[in-house]
């Protein structure tokens, strides 16, 4: 009896082993390929198109995400072959405009002033999410920081700004400090928010944490961080004067009919239309209005004042 | 089929462990192999997916910027991972923007794996000859837009290799475990079997009778040492061959002696002595074994003692039974012999053992057997004891037996058998007859004495008158001669009467101090001349110490003369020799006289009757048959005894040079008389 049981167990074990052994190797039927069959690939020639570039304020991915729908709209409305391209840096962007590689440039007012020198001219500007075609900078401090109550108090303090190229987050407030006779050397430290992306928010968080005494941000940033920090703890020390916002410029020599077609389509964008609102929201604007080069004179004045043109 | 039970314990243990491990290995290796292969494949797939998805995310910027260098760096970075065969990036039109192949691009790959935009990944197994490749295709997506596809190829061979390695390691582990288990099993089994072997050896020694072996370990602390106990009368005190928990009736206050062994052991488990000394099951077995051997030994000793005692008792009983001349036998209720003594067995000519189970008909002649059988059956039925005398005819003559049969009662009161005792009373019977004869003789003596006394007086008158008448007639006349005949015959009658009176001891006894030898010499000198005429010589060997006895010289002289004349008569007229010997035995207080002749001797049956009155072997006119009986009466009167032996025994020392004699072997008469009459006199009833 015992012997039978033992034999049965052994047989079962062998059977199990036989059943399971091939299971480890079985898989879907493979697709036959021959890796030795090689060819040298040649890239297909790119079609001629009107190039569109967004100043690389953000990563290419975000740039692409923000303007993909707008470009799609413009291609559809104007019938022009528009293609978004991605310069890696501000400098490259400017150079590409100068070389005529970028036909339509979307840049901030400071970059535009440089582009204008290279022959580009503004033809449209955006309406900020705040509803104005202008935007301001803000100087903030912690509400409980009794040492900072006025612009004058900012001397000798630790300042965190967004970026050396940031308009609202650095250059506009810097102009304001110049107006009050405060120079960069008057601050204990002047630091810029680290890393790519979310730099505006980082300034607010750094001030909120008390790492810095004052911070400078583009107006509207506080609404963005409302969910992250208690806004009651942040005090707005001062606001700069309004400056015109981001601008669309055409390179020198671009066919005026193309500019005409594109600007017409842009100006037709209506934030009250469901479809077009999503295009505008994705691009971070509420509308596009016509612009002239003279709109950017205040910026030119600021540049001169800060000595950035040298 | 019988191989397995014959295997050694060690081999069985190893076989068991080895088969468990082998079965485990057989069961688990494929299972684990499969599982680990699956999990490794899954893991590889996940890794490949992660690589592809990671690459797809990181490639977005470079693709947007159409930065081929960065894309090339990215895919090259992937191929540094060892099992990645290739990596490449396709744009949304399927054009390969960057790849890791050195020369040219294998165009088969382009369409080998497709992934839809709504899929995050697609894995396709590819076969390049014998090589298998997992191809991972991940779309490069930006929000809802698709920029292209990332493809990564992982070698399946490496996965298989990893699985193989894992299975090899597992198999190696199993082999190591097998080796370890077998080694440990061998060591363990050797320890166990060595102890079991010792037990077996001791058991075998026990079988051969050696009960002094000790199987249990001798280490450990004894209870009186552990408990610092001084109770020397405790049975466990000083006991070194047994552990204290095997000993009943210990006096330790911690011990529970109330219950049985199990209860006691239960209480012992809590005891410090037990906890320190108790071992495993085999030690328990060995110690129990020792206790068993010890108690067995003591039981065997007791049994031997009892057996010896029983044997002694049996021997004693057997001796008692066998020494008795009575024939004792035991019959059971089926009338078969169940036991007997030696005397009985000899009487039936069998050994003691042969008698057992026999019946009367097996042992005795038919008539006697029938008689015994009937008697026994009667007793078994009635339960009455039988007490009787029976006469049995044997080759040696009649034998008389006193038979006692007693029923033997069994425990329940029924008659279970019968004990029969046959006592040989032939001699007693003879003495009884002799007693009757003696009484008869005494009556006859009294009668004869009375008659002789009455006749004596008339005989005297007849004798006197005959002598008177002789004086009145001439001496040579016819009348004188007739009267002389009357006188002579009257004298004969008077002699007979005097003998009769002497036999009945109605004559005067005149005892006095006398010399025994002189009495004998007087008798010899009286008859010597007469005997010499008959050519019979007399030789005397008298004790020169001249013993003095108290007796009647005349009567004793008559006895001696009687014996001498009888001896002469035994010669039958032929020449012969008579030897007279006297001997004083001072310590025995007796003086003895032997009268031996080398005559015809006396027949054995006649020897018993020679002292009877009127018994005579002589011719009618030669003797009266009163001589010896008168002598017998005289010697008895002197407190002595007389008897005859024929033929003369060798040790008597009858002189061989003696003259004449007959072939009969002769006869010797022995007379023993007491020296001291003081003891004898008062008991002697006076007849005077």
Chain pair A-B, CB pairs under 8 angstroms: 113
pLDDT of residue B554: 84
How far is the C-alpha of B222 from the C-alpha of B244, rounded, in Å? 8
Judging contacts by C-beta atoms under 8 Å, the chain B residues touching residue A56 are: none
How far is the C-alpha of A244 from the C-alpha of A122, rounded, in Å? 12
CB A217 within 8 A of CB A193: no
Judging contacts by C-beta atoms under 8 Å, the chain B residues touching residue A25 are: 37, 160
Structure tokens at B475: 């001496």
> Which of B24, B61, B154 is the best residue to mutate to test the A interface, defined by the most A CB atoms within 10 Å of its own CB?
B61
Q: Which of these, B286, B267, B131, B264, lies nearest to B201 by C-alpha position? A: B286
Helix (H, G, I), strand (E, B) or coil at A173: helix
| B60 reaches A (C-beta below 8 A) | yes
How far is the C-alpha of B611 from the C-alpha of B626, rounded, in Å? 8
pLDDT of residue A104: 93
Neighbour tally for B98: CB within 10 Å: 22
Helix (H, G, I), strand (E, B) or coil at A80: coil
In the structure, what pLDDT confidence band is assigned to residue B679 with cuts at 50, 70 and 90?
A: very low
Q: Which of these, B420, B435, B265, lies nearest to B344 by C-alpha position? A: B420
How far is the C-alpha of B131 from the C-alpha of B505, rounded, in Å? 161
Judging contacts by C-beta atoms under 8 Å, the chain B residues touching residue A40 are: 104-105
Nearest chain A Cα to B157, which residue? A25
| B30 reaches A (C-beta below 8 A) | yes
How far is the C-alpha of B175 from the C-alpha of B188, rounded, in Å? 19
> Which residues, at least 6 apart from B535, have a Cβ–Cβ distance to it below 8 Å?
B574, B575, B576, B660
For A143-241, CATH number out of 3.20.20.80, 3.40.640.10, 3.40.190.10, 3.20.20.30 equals 3.40.190.10
Distance from the B82 Cα atom to the nearest Cα atom in chain A, whole angstroms: 18
Same topology for domains A50-133+244-306 and A143-241, yes or no?
Answer: yes
Neighbour tally for B101: CB within 10 Å: 17
Q: What separation in angstroms does the CA of B5 have from each of B11, B182, B203, B204?
A: 11, 20, 21, 21
pLDDT of residue B686: 37
Mean pLDDT within A284-305 = 90
Helix (H) or strand (E) holding B462: helix B426-472
In the structure, what pLDDT confidence band is assigned to residue B620 with cuts at 50, 70 and 90?
A: low
Mean pLDDT within B188-205 = 85
In the structure, what pLDDT confidence band is assigned to residue B504 with cuts at 50, 70 and 90?
A: low
How far is the C-alpha of A243 from the C-alpha of A109, rounded, in Å? 9
Mean of the per-residue pLDDT values of chain B: 83
Pairing of strands B576-585, B590-597: antiparallel
How far is the C-alpha of B190 from the C-alpha of B184, rounded, in Å? 10
DSSP A152: G
Residue that wins the pLDDT comparison between B579 and B268: B579
Neighbour tally for B581: CB within 10 Å: 20
Are the Cβ atoms of A68 and B30 closer than 8 angstroms? no
The model's pLDDT over B152-193, given as tens digits with 9 standing for 90+, comes to 998 887 777 877 888 888 888 888 988 998 888 888 888 888
Q: Does the A50-133+244-306 domain belong in CATH 3.40.50.1110?
A: no
Judging contacts by C-beta atoms under 8 Å, the chain B residues touching residue A37 are: 106-108
pLDDT of residue B60: 86
CB B124 within 8 A of CB B113: yes
> Which residues, at least 6 apart from B95, have a Cβ–Cβ distance to it below 8 Å?
A41, A43, A44
Q: How much of chain B exceeds pLDDT 90, in percent?
A: 7
Question: Facing residues of B399 across strands?
Answer: B392
pTM here is: 0.47
> Which of A9, A25, A29, A33 is the best residue to mutate to test the B interface, defined by the most B CB atoms within 10 Å of its own CB?
A33
Distance from the B189 Cα atom to the nearest Cα atom in chain A, whole angstroms: 23
pLDDT of residue A191: 92
Q: What are phi and psi of B407, to 5 degrees?
A: -65, 140
pLDDT of residue A8: 61
Compute the CA torsion angle B578, B579, B580, B583 (nearest 10 deg): -160
CB A289 within 8 A of CB A133: yes
Neighbour tally for B688: CB within 10 Å: 4
> Which of A26, A28, A31, A64 is the best residue to mutate to test the B interface, defined by the most B CB atoms within 10 Å of its own CB?
A31
| B27 reaches A (C-beta below 8 A) | yes
Question: Facing residues of A82 across strands?
Answer: A50
CB B15 within 8 A of CB B168: no
pLDDT of residue B258: 72
Mean pLDDT within A4-18 = 57
Neighbour tally for B432: CB within 10 Å: 12
In the structure, what pLDDT confidence band is assigned to residue A40 with cuts at 50, 70 and 90?
A: confident
Judging contacts by C-beta atoms under 8 Å, the chain A residues touching residue B115 are: none
| B163 reaches A (C-beta below 8 A) | yes
Are the Cβ atoms of B64 and A60 closer than 8 angstroms? yes
The model's pLDDT over A53-92, given as tens digits with 9 standing for 90+, comes to 988 877 788 888 888 889 889 999 998 889 888 888 888 8
Are the Cβ atoms of B112 and A27 closer than 8 angstroms? no
pLDDT of residue A22: 45
Distance from the A238 Cα atom to the nearest Cα atom in chain B, whole angstroms: 38
Nearest chain A Cα to B130, which residue? A32
Within B473-536, where are the H helices? 478-503, 516-533
Q: Which ipTM score applies to this complex?
A: 0.71
pLDDT of residue B630: 81
Compute the CA torsion angle A13, A18, A24, A30 (nearest 10 deg): -170
Mean of the per-residue pLDDT values of chain A: 85
**Weakest mean pLDDT among A26-40, B126-140, B484-498:** A26-40
Helix axes A297-306 and A109-117, enclosed angle (nearest 10): 90
The model's pLDDT over A168-227, given as tens digits with 9 standing for 90+, comes to 889 999 999 999 999 889 999 999 988 766 778 889 999 999 999 999 998 888 887 888
Are the Cβ atoms of A39 and B107 closer than 8 angstroms? yes
Are the Cβ atoms of A41 and B95 closer than 8 angstroms? yes
CB B9 within 8 A of CB B193: yes
| B600 reaches A (C-beta below 8 A) | no
DSSP A21: G
**Interface residues from chain A to B (CB-CB < 8 Å):** 6, 9-10, 13-14, 16-18, 20-21, 23-25, 27-41, 43-44, 59-61, 63-65, 68, 86, 88
Structure tokens at B399: 């034998």
DSSP A296: G
For residue B416, cis peptide bond before it (omega within 30 degrees of 0) = no
Q: Which of these, B664, B509, B557, lies nearest to B565 by C-alpha position? A: B557
> Which of A30, A34, A64, A89 is the best residue to mutate to test the B interface, defined by the most B CB atoms within 10 Å of its own CB?
A30
CB A161 within 8 A of CB A250: no
SS (H, E, C) B180-243: HHHHHHHHHHHHHHHHHHHHHHHHHHHHCCCCCCCCCCCCCCCHHHHCCCCCCCCCCCCCCCCC
Task: Say if residue B683's pLDDT is above 70.
Answer: no
Distance from the A63 Cα atom to the nearest Cα atom in chain B, whole angstroms: 10
How far is the C-alpha of A151 from the C-alpha of B186, rounded, in Å? 92
B401: left (phi over 0), alpha (psi -120 to 50) or beta: beta
Mean pLDDT within B354-372 = 88
Q: Which of these, A222, A302, A256, A247, lies nearest to A111 by C-alpha position? A: A247
> Which of B128, B132, B159, B167 is the best residue to mutate to test the A interface, defined by the most A CB atoms within 10 Å of its own CB?
B128
In the structure, what pLDDT confidence band is assigned to residue A124 with cuts at 50, 70 and 90?
A: very high
CB B186 within 8 A of CB B18: no
Judging contacts by C-beta atoms under 8 Å, the chain B residues touching residue A27 are: 41, 125
How far is the C-alpha of A117 from the C-alpha of A252, rounded, in Å? 10
Burial B665-677 (b: 16+ CB within 10 A, else e): bbbbbbbbbbbeb
Residue that wins the pLDDT comparison between B200 and B270: B200
CB B601 within 8 A of CB B647: yes
Nearest chain A Cα to B16, which residue? A6
**Weakest mean pLDDT among A24-33, A250-259, B37-46, B428-437:** A24-33
Highest mean pLDDT among B33-42, B232-241, B355-364, B624-633: B355-364
Mean pLDDT within B364-392 = 88
What residue segments make up the domains of chain A, in order of their start?
50-133+244-306, 143-241
Q: Which residue in this structure is represented by tokens 């060997």?
A: B541
How far is the C-alpha of B200 from the C-alpha of A181, rounded, in Å? 114
Are the Cβ atoms of A38 and B103 closer than 8 angstroms? yes
How far is the C-alpha of B69 from the C-alpha of A24, rounded, in Å? 40
How far is the C-alpha of B396 from the C-alpha of B31, rounded, in Å? 109
Q: What are phi and psi of B606, to 5 degrees?
A: -75, -25
Render B321-389 in DSSP notation, one character per residue.
HHHSSSEEEEEETTS-EEEE-HHHHHHHT--HHHHTT--HHHHS-HHHHHHHHHHHHHHHHH---EEEE
Task: Say if residue B516's pLDDT is above 50.
Answer: yes
DSSP A139: E
Judging contacts by C-beta atoms under 8 Å, the chain B residues touching residue A65 are: 142-143
Of B103, B106, B113, the CB nearest to A37: B106
**Weakest mean pLDDT among A164-178, A263-277, B609-623, B660-674:** B609-623
**Contacts within 8 Å (CB) and 24+ apart, A261-265:** A261/A78, A261/A80, A262/A74, A262/A78, A262/A80, A262/A104, A263/A123, A263/A124, A263/A290, A265/A73, A265/A74, A265/A77, A265/A78
Judging contacts by C-beta atoms under 8 Å, the chain A residues touching residue B129 are: 34
Of B60, B103, B107, the CB nearest to A61: B60
pLDDT of residue A18: 52
Task: Say if residue B6's pLDDT is above 90.
Answer: no
The model's pLDDT over B262-297, given as tens digits with 9 standing for 90+, comes to 777 777 877 878 888 877 888 888 888 888 888 888
């Amino acid at each position: 009896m015992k012997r039978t049981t033992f034999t049965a167990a052994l047989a079962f074990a062998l059977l199990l082993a036989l059943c399971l052994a091939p299971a480890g190797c079985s898989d879907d039927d493979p697709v036959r390929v021959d890796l030795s069959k090689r060819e040298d690939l040649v890239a297909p020639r790119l079609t001629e198109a009107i190039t569109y570039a967004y100043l690389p304020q953000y990563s290419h991915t975000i740039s692409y995400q923000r303007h993909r729908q707008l470009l799609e709209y413009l291609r559809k409305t104007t019938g022009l072959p528009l293609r978004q391209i991605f310069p890696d840096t501000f400098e490259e962007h400017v150079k590409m405009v100068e070389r005529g590689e970028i036909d339509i440039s979307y840049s901030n007012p400071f970059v535009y002033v440089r582009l204008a020198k290279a022959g580009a001219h503004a033809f449209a500007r955006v309406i900020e999410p705040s509803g104005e075609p202008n935007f301001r900078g803000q100087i903030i401090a912690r509400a409980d920081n009794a040492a900072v109550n006025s612009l004058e108090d900012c001397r000798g303090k630790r300042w965190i700004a967004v970026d050396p190229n940031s308009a609202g987050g650095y250059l506009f407030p810097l102009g304001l400090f110049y107006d009050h006779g405060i120079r960069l050397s008057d601050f204990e430290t002047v630091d810029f928010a680290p890393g790519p992306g979310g730099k505006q928010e980082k300034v607010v968080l750094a001030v909120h944490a008390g790492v810095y005494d004052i911070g400078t941000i583009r107006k509207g940033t506080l609404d963005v961080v409302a969910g992250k920090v208690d806004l009651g703890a942040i005090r707005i020390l001062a606001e700069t004067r309004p400056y015109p916002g981001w601008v669309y410029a055409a390179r020198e020599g671009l066919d005026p009919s193309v500019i005409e077609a594109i600007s017409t389509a842009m100006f037709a964008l209506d934030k009250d239309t469901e479809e077009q609102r999503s295009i505008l929201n994705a691009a971070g604007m509420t509308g596009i209005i016509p612009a002239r080069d003279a709109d950017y004179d205040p910026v030119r004045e600021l540049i001169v004042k800060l000595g950035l043109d040298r | 089929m019988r191989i397995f039970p014959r295997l050694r314990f060690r081999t069985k243990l190893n076989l068991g462990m080895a088969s468990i491990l082998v079965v485990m290995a057989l069961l688990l290796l494929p299972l684990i192999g499969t599982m680990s292969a699956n999990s490794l494949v899954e893991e590889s797939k996940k890794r490949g997916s992660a690589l592809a998805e990671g690459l797809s995310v990181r490639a977005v910027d470079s693709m947007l910027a159409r930065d081929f260098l960065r894309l090339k760096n990215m895919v090259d970075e992937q191929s540094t991972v060892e099992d990645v065969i290739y990596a490449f990036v396709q744009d949304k039109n399927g054009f390969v923007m960057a790849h890791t192949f050195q020369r040219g691009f294998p165009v088969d790959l382009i369409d080998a794996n497709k992934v839809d935009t709504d899929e995050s990944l697609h894995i396709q197994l590819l076969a390049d000859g014998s090589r298998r490749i997992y191809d991972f295709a991940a779309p490069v997506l930006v929000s809802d837009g698709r920029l292209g596809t990332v493809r990564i190829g992982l070698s399946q061979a490496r996965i298989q290799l990893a699985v193989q390695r894992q299975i090899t390691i597992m198999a190696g582990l199993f082999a190591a475990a097998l080796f370890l288990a077998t080694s440990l099993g061998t060591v363990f089994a050797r320890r166990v079997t060595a102890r079991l072997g010792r037990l077996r050896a001791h058991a075998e020694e026990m079988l051969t009778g050696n009960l002094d072996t000790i199987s249990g370990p001798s280490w450990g602390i004894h209870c009186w040492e552990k408990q610092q106990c001084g109770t020397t009368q405790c049975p466990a005190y000083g006991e070194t061959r047994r552990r204290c928990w095997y000993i009943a009736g210990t006096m330790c206050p911690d011990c529970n002696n109330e219950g049985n062994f199990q209860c006691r052991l239960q209480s012992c488990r809590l005891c410090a002595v037990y906890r320190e000394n108790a071992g495993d099951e085999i030690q328990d077995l060995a110690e129990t074994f020792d206790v068993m051997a010890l108690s067995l030994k003591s039981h065997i000793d007791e049994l031997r003692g009892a057996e010896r005692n029983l044997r002694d008792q049996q021997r004693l009983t057997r001796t008692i039974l066998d020494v008795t001349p009575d024939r004792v036998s035991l019959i059971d209720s089926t009338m078969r012999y169940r036991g007997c003594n030696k005397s009985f067995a000899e009487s039936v000519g069998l050994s003691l053992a042969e008698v057992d189970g026999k019946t009367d008909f097996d042992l005795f002649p038919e008539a006697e057997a029938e008689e015994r059988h009937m008697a026994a059956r009667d007793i078994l039925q009635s339960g009455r004891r039988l007490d009787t005398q029976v006469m049995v005819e044997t080759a040696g003559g009649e034998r008389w037996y006193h038979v006692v049969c007693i029923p033997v009662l069994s425990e329940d009161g029924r008659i279970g058998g019968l004990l029969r005792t046959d006592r040989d009373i032939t001699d007693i019977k003879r003495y009884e007859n002799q007693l009757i004869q003696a009484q008869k003789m005494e009556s006859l003596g009294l009668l004869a004495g009375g008659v002789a006394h009455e006749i004596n007086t008339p005989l005297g008158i007849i004798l006197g008158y005959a002598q008177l008448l002789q004086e009145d007639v001439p001496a040579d006349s016819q009348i004188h001669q007739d009267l002389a005949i009357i006188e002579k015959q009257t004298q004969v009658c008077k002699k007979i009467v005097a003998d009769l009176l002497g036999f009945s001891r109605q004559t005067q006894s005149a005892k006095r101090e006398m010399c025994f030898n002189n009495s004998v010499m007087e008798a010899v000198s009286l008859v010597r001349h007469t005997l010499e005429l008959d050519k019979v010589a007399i030789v005397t060997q008298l004790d020169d110490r001249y013993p003095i006895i108290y007796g009647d010289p005349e009567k004793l002289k008559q006895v001696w003369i009687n014996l001498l004349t009888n001896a002469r008569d035994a010669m039958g007229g032929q020449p012969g020799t008579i030897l007279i010997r006297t001997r004083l035995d001072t310590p025995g207080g007796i003086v003895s006289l032997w009268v031996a002749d080398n005559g015809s001797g006396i027949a054995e049956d006649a020897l018993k009757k020679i002292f009877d009155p009127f018994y005579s072997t002589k011719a009618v006119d030669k003797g009266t048959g009163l001589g010896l009986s008168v002598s017998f009466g005289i010697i008895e009167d002197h407190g002595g005894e007389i008897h005859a032996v024929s033929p003369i025994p060798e040790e008597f020392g009858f002189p061989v040079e003696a003259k004449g004699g007959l072939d009969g072997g002769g006869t010797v008469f022995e007379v023993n008389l007491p020296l001291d009459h003081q003891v004898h006199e008062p008991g002697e009833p006076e007849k005077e």
